[in-house]
Amino acid sequence: MMSGLLLLRALRAALPGAAAVVRRLRTAAPRPVFAKELFLGTLRKEEVFPYPEISNEELEEINQFVGPVEKFFNEEVDSKKIDQDAKIPPETLKGLKDLGLFGMQIPEEYGGLGLSNTMYARLGEITSSDGSIAVTLAAHQAIGLKGILIAGTDEQKAKYLPRLASGEHIAAFCLTEPGSGSDAASIQTRATLSEDGKYFLLNGSKVWISNGGLASIFTVFARTEVVDKDGQLKDKITAFIVERDFGGVTHGKPEDKLGIRGSNTCEVHFENTKVPIENVIGEVGGGFKVAMNILNSGRFSMGSASAGMIKKLIEMTAEYACTRKQFDKKLSEFGLIQEKFCFMAVKAYVMESMAYLTAGMMDRPGFPDCSVEAAMVKVFSSEGAWACVSEALQILGGLGYMKDYPYERYLRDTRILLIFEGTNEILRMYIALTGMQYAGKILTDKIKEIKKGNVGVALGEFLSKLQDIMGRKVDYGLVGDRGVVHPSLQESGKKLEENIYYFGATVRGLLSRFGKTIVEEQLVLKRVADIVINLYAMTAAISRASRSISIGLRNHDHEVLLTNIFCTEAYFKNNYAMTQLEKYADENLDDSIKKAAKQVLEKRAYTCSHPLDRTF
């Protein structure tokens, strides 16, 4: 019998114009950034309007994959058993391998499916129906083998990718250590070059490694001695491909986790493991950059995965709400229940819009840097998924809390999304600081030009300030006769334009006020990140809904409704956050918050007297 992977390849070959569908290396001039420009109050609408589309051939191709994968997850995956046994059965793993799901983004020349980012996101909607499987697959290809894919040599790719694509070998990503979590640069695992210079001796321990007990191939990050440009000996991080067969590789027992219980998570130890010098990924000393590129490239898919899960939750919960009666009325007739369904639908729509916009941008020629966009998708969708699962469980009431139903499992599985692949706190700092740094450099260059006597730049700045004083009409070309936004979304488009302009002004004010010390102002940066995440979310939803109504997709009026609800709420949240960021704003309680936290942390306890205490 033909395996699932071979069957899918045969179907692909049968598609009209199949030869043209193969995705080759994309080469073009680097594309301008989108998210970073928002920090300047600039909207590069050509990057996000119209909403990305895939060709009919690609659509047919992805649909050939969707059917078999959905069938497998519906009929062959027992999520309750996986959760209870804390293990994915061997036959389920075999089925995933046969479908080619261990090689989704590995090029066809190395035995993979060679899917684009958009196609990968689409399959992620289905695989996310089981959290343990989703994590196992993501740990393997989104991070485990991604270093070989994006920074490996041709020899490394030819040697390792074919067996990783088939699932014969499973990959793991080894960065986290007992003393270094979010602070990846502080790892202590060490690789020492042998005297003959032919191999490194690797020693150290890694913790919380997904697939750690299953993997044959590890991407490992370790400290190495490097001679810098000045001839000084320095410690720098290097990335290595480590085979379990090299020897000295052991792992601990699987961790007993709150959620994603079927995924394998354990400690991995390296003791005098001999790693050939040709197994360095990238350059010796260039490992930190490799690690960041790996993590940055995979985060976007959390949006489609989370949306897929929430859409399934909405179906299951709506069935219950439309049949359960209380006080002689169906639950679905109560306003507070309706509010929850609206909340879930809006979140699913927006995170899906963000994910596929980002995937489409990443699939364009020119290797665009979408690391900020991908981080924004991860933060928004992980927090949205957690909130939606909580609301779904609330609708079910007591039933939702019972293990006979999947809601409590979804709740446990979802909580990790806010923690791994970069905690949301760290990612908010990354989003804000990356954008602020980008804006700061450009604004500094402008100031230098003005100081040099560049009349054009000085006049431009003066006129901009004058327009602000006199009441500026913000127009980025989104709305109006020549606008790219559909008329039914005009109000949302105007709100987005206004928010973007005043966000740019807010960023300029913050850079002027804090300068380089902005790095230490985490509560300020959190608000900056939240605003720009909302701006990107508004952009994605408006662009998608405009496309849907323009081409006449079914239920496009529902998309417009969800978009307008989200954009109106986000607009007022952004305005309030920008008000809080003004100097001496009464709405800003940062100093009080820090003072209260300091008093608690100094005592390492809740310090208030008990309400029953007395002094007499």
Q: Which residues are identified as catalytic?
A: 421
**Exposure letters 459-468 (e unless 16+ CB within 10 A, then b):** eeeeeeeeee
**What's the token pair of residue 614?**
């007395």
DSSP assignments along 34-80, one per residue: SHHHHTTT---GGGTSSPP---HHHHHHHHHHHHHHHHHHHHT--HH
Cα–Cα distance, 603 to 576 (Å, whole number): 33
**What's the token pair of residue 496?**
């987005």
The residues with which 242 forms a beta bridge, in sequence order, are 218
Q: What is the DSSP letter of 144?
A: I
Q: Is-contact 192 185, C-beta < 8 A?
A: no
Tell me: cis bond preceding 16? Omega within 30 of 0 counts. Answer: no
For 175-264, strand residue ranges (E) read: 190-193, 199-210, 217-227, 233-243, 249-251
Contacts of 391 (CB under 8 A, 6+ apart): 340, 343, 344
List % helix, strand, coil for the chain (3-state, nearest 5): 60, 10, 30
Q: Is-contact 174 184, C-beta < 8 A?
A: no
Contacts of 2 (CB under 8 A, 6+ apart): 10
Cα–Cα distance, 519 to 70 (Å, whole number): 46
The CA distances from residue 94 to 89, 97, 111, in Å, are: 9, 5, 16
Tell me the angle at which helices 407-414 and 301-321 cross, rounded to the nearest 10 degrees.
Answer: 160
**What's the token pair of residue 182?**
């979010």
Cα–Cα distance, 78 to 135 (Å, whole number): 16
What is the helix (H) or strand (E) element at residue 325, kind and residue range? strand 325-326
In the block, tokens 């909340």 appear at: 343
Cα–Cα distance, 144 to 181 (Å, whole number): 17
Q: Is-contact 139 190, C-beta < 8 A?
A: no
Cα–Cα distance, 489 to 598 (Å, whole number): 46
Cα–Cα distance, 552 to 350 (Å, whole number): 19
SS3 of 131-182: the string is HHHHHHHHHHHHHHCHHHHHHCCHHHHHHHHHHHHHCCCCEEEECCECCECC
Contacts of 500 (CB under 8 A, 6+ apart): 38, 41, 42, 43, 474, 476, 535
